[in-house]
Amino acid sequence: MGQAIVSEQTKKVLPWILGITIFMQMLETTILNTALPAIARDLNESPLQMQAAIISYTLTLAICTPLSSIISDKFGTKYTFLLSVLVFTLGSFLCALSMDLTQLTLSRILQGVGGAMSIPVARLSIFKTYPKSQILKIISYAVTPALIGPMLGPILGGYLVQYLSWHWIFLINIPIGMVCIGLAFFYMPDYKADKVKIDFWGYIMFAAAISLLILGLEFVVRRDNQLFSMLMLCFGVLLLVSYWIYAYYTDSPLYSPSLFKIRTFFVGVFGGILARLGISCIPFVVPLLLQVGLGYSPDVAGWVLVPLALANLINKPMVTTIMRWYGYKSVLIINTLMVSIIIIIMGFVAPIVHISVLMVLLFMLGFFNSIQFSAMNTLTVADLTDDNVSSGNSLMVVFQQLSMTLAIAFAAIFMNVFADSPVAIFASETEPFQATMIVMGIFTFFATFIFVILHKTDGDNMANRNKS
């Protein structure tokens, strides 16, 4: 393993590099939602057809994340990181220059390539620089911006769109990216690995499978060619099945099927996918409901989303204690039910209650989301061993990105279905958004049936570890 000489100054600056990188990407992820209606008007697109701008980014993250450690091992953490931030910043600049949805989508893909590499490489540098006894403290300190970004993003996005233009939600990344590049040039250590292995064919099959599945759903939404979209979905499923057969008979697969023999990993992954369908669609659907359905301005829509992130931040210190008191099985079943109920209630009442009531519901949702994410993430890796923890953690991150992509894709499908074929339960202006939230909340409800599989003591080792 190639080692870099690390100075004390580097040790002080390195957490800031990770923190700024996380802040930049979390800001970008949340700032876009409130700007979608304005972008749609400027690009002559329907607001209900703008999901490609989000899906292209999250899908690219899912596809490229497995490559981050391989590329950094081969070319070094420093130069991989510098290139990734440069690519992300360039992608942001090109997003601001986009003249149509196709150009914006392609630019978002470029952003995703940079985003998929930068945070994992910065985190890897932290792991290799500090002793294990300090890792938790350093990472906790560095990821604080990840909790601030979602609060600042909707507000900043709303005001930039309202008083400047939507282009600034991308241009703001340029100075942040330049600061990150400057710090990394002087203070990012350069670690390399002596031997680099990659399951090339496994990666190609896996990446192609999830790409075809998501792109097939995207074509379903746009209704360009239904036969073509069905073929893409079928080939995606076929490739995914082929990958798992291939991985079963391969000595060193990208992701081993044996991971799914671990009950906590299986439940954490698949329960997490269903649970995130409802959770992850809310920051996408609510701003559209407020602006397109109810006529609120972008800055008001941005403020409405703040309680969602604020509750998440406030509740974080309590999550470990909750898990230790009640255990993973009870917490995940009850908490998932609460999340689904709140989403369904919002679907029914959002347009007919005062906006302050909607903010209270979003605060409650953020409170339970904080528990949900922490519980699902730690449960998934609870029983992984030293031999499979790296692969399992990587696959968990891929499925997290994939579930967010699916949430946006399904939400877009349902919004368009209810817009074209209303069932007249709600007002015509708001029905596509209300009905979509209800359906997605029902998806989240079904996750409880997966968490029931857990044993009462599953995850206890993680709760006890957190206590110690």
Amino acid, res. 121: V
Whole-prediction pTM value? 0.79
247 in the same domain as 334: no
What pLDDT sits at residue 133? 62
226 in the same domain as 174: no
Q: What is the 3-state secondary structure (H, E, C) of 75-124?
A: HCHHHHHHHHHHHHHHHHHHHHHCCCHHHHHHHHHHHHHHHHHHHHHHHH
- Overall domain count for the chain: 3
What pLDDT sits at residue 307? 87
263 in the same domain as 185: no
402 in the same domain as 320: yes
Dihedral over Cα of 356, 361, 367, 370: its sign = negative
What pLDDT sits at residue 147? 67
Check which CATH number belongs to the domain holding 190 and give it: 1.20.1250.20
Residue with tokens 């080792």: 461
458 in the same domain as 438: yes
The residue from 175, 196, 217 where one domain ends is 196
The residue from 172, 196, 220 where one domain ends is 196
Residue with tokens 């330049």: 178
Token pair of 318 as six digits? 């309590």
Token pair of 216 as six digits? 């097939």
What pLDDT sits at residue 2? 47
206 in the same domain as 130: no
The residue from 196, 212, 242 where one domain ends is 196
Contact between 246 and 205 under an 8 Å Cβ cutoff? The reply is yes
Q: 10 Å Cβ neighbour count for 277?
A: 26
280 in the same domain as 326: yes
237 in the same domain as 111: no
- Biggest alpha carbon distance in the chain? 67
Token pair of 232 as six digits? 């893409």
How many degrees, rounded to 5, is the angle at CA 263 between CA 257 and CA 264? Answer: 110
Residue with tokens 């036969």: 227
Q: Which residues pair with 192 in a beta bridge?
A: 2
9 in the same domain as 137: yes
325 in the same domain as 230: no
Residue with tokens 């609060």: 151
263 in the same domain as 230: no
What pLDDT sits at residue 460? 63
Token pair of 67 as six digits? 């490559």
Q: Whole-angstrom Cα distance, residue 229 to residue 163?
A: 39
275 in the same domain as 423: yes
Residue 230's domain comprises 199-253
Contact between 126 and 142 under an 8 Å Cβ cutoff? The reply is yes
Count CA atoms closer than 13 A to 357's CA, side-chain side: 11
pLDDT in tens, the chain (468 residues): 445 566 777 777 878 888 888 888 878 777 887 888 888 888 888 877 777 788 888 888 888 887 877 787 778 888 888 999 999 999 999 999 988 888 888 999 999 888 888 888 887 777 777 776 666 567 666 666 666 777 777 788 888 888 888 888 888 889 988 998 998 888 888 777 766 677 788 888 888 888 888 878 777 766 666 677 788 888 888 988 898 888 888 877 877 788 888 888 888 888 888 998 888 888 888 888 888 888 888 888 888 888 888 887 787 777 777 777 878 888 889 999 999 999 999 989 888 888 889 999 999 998 888 888 878 877 877 777 766 666 677 777 788 878 888 888 888 888 888 887 777 777 778 888 889 999 999 999 999 999 888 887 766 655 555 444
Q: Whole-angstrom Cα distance, residue 169 to residue 173?
A: 8
Q: Burial level of 380, CB count in 10 A (0-12/13-18/19+)? A: buried
